Amino acid sequence: MRSFALLLLLACGPLLAAEPGARSQVQLNDSFKYFSGNASLNQAAGNGHQQTNVRVISIGDQPATSLRVEQVRGTIALPEGIDAAARIQGAAFSQASGISGINQSAGIGNQNINAFRMAVGVIPESLDDAVLSQSTAITSATLGGATVDGERIVEISDQAFSGSRGVVQLNQSAGVGNRTTNSLSIRVTD
């Protein structure tokens, strides 16, 4: 009996070794239909993700809409392989109105930022380098230049977001070490 169990264990070894290092998948299906207002959604599968949706609205003679988001992480431990998928299916966010911020990540160590600023009653001014630099995702050596084998899938249904009105900010990533940023600044003067 022991020899049979040992033989079975040895036979399964190559099958177990053929499995990918990790699998992660996130999916929205028909979510947030007909919503009105402000929706902020962070959805992640895997390890080490950082996601945020930030909204700043200021009204007055001298409104301040300064916004700074910093994401810091250490070195990421990588598997030998990863299959990652991020999907928005069905009629998710269809017929929605308002401000929608969606961060959807599958995999390892992805960073996503949606930033929205609106100032009403402000004196017009030009955008300088300091303001423009807030909308960039900086690079780093947290992955050490390593590559990870596997399949990456990002999908959005053709029905998703149909008929939506307002602001839609979407970051969707599948894989390892992706960094995405959406930044929108609106200034309204009298």
**Pairwise CA distance, residues 89 & 168, whole Å:** 16
With the C-alpha atoms ordered 68, 42, 179, 100, is the resulting torsion angle positive or negative?
Answer: negative
In a domain, 1, yes or no: no
Q: What is the pLDDT of residue 134?
A: 56
In a domain, 42, yes or no: yes
Structural domain that includes position 36? 22-69+81-123+151-188
Among residues 27, 26, 30, the alpha carbon closest in space to that of 162 is found at 30
pLDDT at 103 over 50: yes
pLDDT at 21 over 70: no
pLDDT at 38 over 80: yes
Question: What average pLDDT score do residues 119-131 get?
Answer: 69
Q: What is the pLDDT of residue 152?
A: 87
pLDDT at 125 over 80: no
Q: How far does Cα 92 stand from its chain's mean position?
A: 16
Determine the 3-state secondary structure of 51 from DSSP.
strand
Question: What average pLDDT score do residues 105-131 get?
Answer: 80
In a domain, 9, yes or no: no
In a domain, 12, yes or no: no
Question: What average pLDDT score do residues 110-118 get?
Answer: 90
> Tokens for 73?
């992480």
Query: pLDDT-based confidence at 43, cuts 50/70/90?
Result: very high
Question: What average pLDDT score do residues 84-97 get?
Answer: 94
In a domain, 34, yes or no: yes
Q: How far does Cα 115 stand from its chain's mean position?
A: 12
- What is the total count of domains within the chain? 1
Determine the 3-state secondary structure of 98 from DSSP.
strand
Q: What is the pLDDT of residue 40?
A: 93
pLDDT at 50 over 70: yes
Query: pLDDT-based confidence at 147, cuts 50/70/90?
Result: low
Query: pLDDT-based confidence at 99, cuts 50/70/90?
Result: very high
In a domain, 114, yes or no: yes
In a domain, 130, yes or no: no
Question: What average pLDDT score do residues 19-45 get?
Answer: 85
